[in-house]
Amino acid sequence: MSKFNDILRGKFLVSDDSFKNWRIIIFISVLALIMIASSHSADKKVHEIAKLTDQVKELRSALFDGRTQLMQLKMESNVVKRMEEKSIAPSEIPPNKIIVKTSK
């Protein structure tokens, strides 16, 4: 019971051989601070990864939307409609293939 009372009263911190106790206390305190800092750093990285994952999902969605719109704009029926607005109609005569022969 005497040892327990000494610990509660803090006599182990002020006794003659308290230097070794202080070294252990300081060492444990430094380790605790390092552990807390590491934990905060890991939490920050987890939040950043979650945010970047959301951004990737949004960008993928925008990519697929853009591809869909591009495919619709490239469809021949849509091109014909837009050209009719400008009074341009598709040719009814098929194009002729031009073959150029080179002499060696």
Question: Between 39 and 22, whose confidence is greater?
Answer: 39
Q: Which residues contact 72 (CB under 8 A, 6 or more apart)?
A: 78
pLDDT tens digits, residue range 44-102?
Answer: 999 999 999 999 999 999 999 999 999 998 898 888 888 888 888 888 888 889 999 88
Say if residue 4's pLDDT is above 80. no
Distance CA 46, CA 52 (A): 10
Domain spans in the chain, listed from the N-terminal domain onward: 2-85
CA distances from 80 to 20, 44, 90, 93 (A): 90, 54, 7, 16
Q: If 0-12 CB within 10 Å is exposed, 13-18 middle and 19+ buried, where does residue 12 land? A: middle
pTM of the model: 0.54
Confidence at residue 91, expressed as pLDDT on a 0 to 100 scale = 81
Say if residue 104's pLDDT is above 80. no
